[in-house]
Amino acid sequence: MYQTNYMGQGKKTSVSVNKTDAISSGADIPYTEHHQRLSWLDNQTLVIRSAAKINLTLSVGPKRPDNFHAFESLMATVTLYDDLLIRPSASLNLTCDDDTIPTGIDNLIYRASTLLADEANVEPNVEIELVKRIPTQAGLGGGSADAAGTLFGLNELWNLRWPTEDLKKLAAVLGSDVGFFLCGPMAICTGRGEIVTPVAVSWNFWGLIVKHPRIALSTAEVYRHYVQDSRRNFSKAESMAKRLPRSKPSEIYPYLENDLESSAFTINPELGELRRSLESLLSVPVRLSGSGSALFALFDTRDQAAQASLRVQSSFKELTCWVVKNNTW
């Protein structure tokens, strides 16, 4: 069976959190970083890593004629990954190690495979194994990242040599933020999310992502509860991007914003209370990623993020924590 080096991803640390010295050993908490998106497991099996994202800013405007809300977000990929193993097969077959994940037409991987095959006039004869690590209904973009990874991987496996701009056209059909995952690691996404402008800045951060296993939010429902602010300023993403090169993560705390928080916390007050409790515990801003339900905090160093993880798991035994850093691709 395929194994990958994702020790610590999606699992609680084995370090004791009930002793004072556990906090000081926080930097020993492992995290996983893959330095490339694509690799070959053997001469037939392609491995694609799909990185999760967080939203450093997220602004929502009024509904457009197509019934989507206007959208602007500065998004960044992080070192939390799903893995896709893609190999030739007699027909299209998708499997997943998480039996709650659909593996038919309802899965974006399946749809991405058939869409690219149709457009390229090839048969979608591949077996795709999804090793799921990014939690679902969390606002971390796992499904979209997997769809983008599928387009990227099949473009390689089928030797299509399509440029990214052509793949982005298919990505826009699949979902609003699929295109971002073809263009990371950081970009400003506008329109309904499908217009992607890469941000070429050198900016490193560490983060803690927190997820309650019983809380999941539907993106559609969060948007239905969104109350439009007529004063919405659609320049925050660009302003933040310009600020990053000269700022440490702790210096951009005042500018982290997500317009969907109010509606998400209205739908699930427990999530809002959890955010408040985490901010009190960690003494740093805690933000919702996307439409939720994952929460995140940023830190200047790995040690700070690891110590924050230990504190959270000591106080909230039911939560899952991931120590992450900015992804490089």
Active site residues: 53, 177
Query: CA-CA distance, 27 to 227, in Å (whole number)?
Result: 41
What is the DSSP secondary-structure string of 16-51?
A: -SSSHHHHHTGGG------S-SEEESSSS-EEEEEE
Ordered DSSP codes for 268-282: -HHHHHHHHHHHHHH
Neighbouring-strand partners of residue 285: none
Under a CB-based contact definition with an 8 Å cutoff, are residues 212 and 319 in contact? yes
Of the candidates 125, 86, 135, 93, the one whose C-alpha atom is nearest the C-alpha of residue 110 is 93
Residue 254 CB coordination number (10 Å): 7
Q: Which of 124, 170, 156 is nearest to 38 (CA)?
A: 156
Q: How many CB atoms lie within 10 A of CB 3?
A: 6
Q: From CA 174, how far away is CA 150, in angstroms rounded?
A: 12
Q: Which residues contact 243 (CB under 8 A, 6 or more apart)?
A: 252, 255
Please give the Cα distance from 179 to 195 (Å, whole number): 8
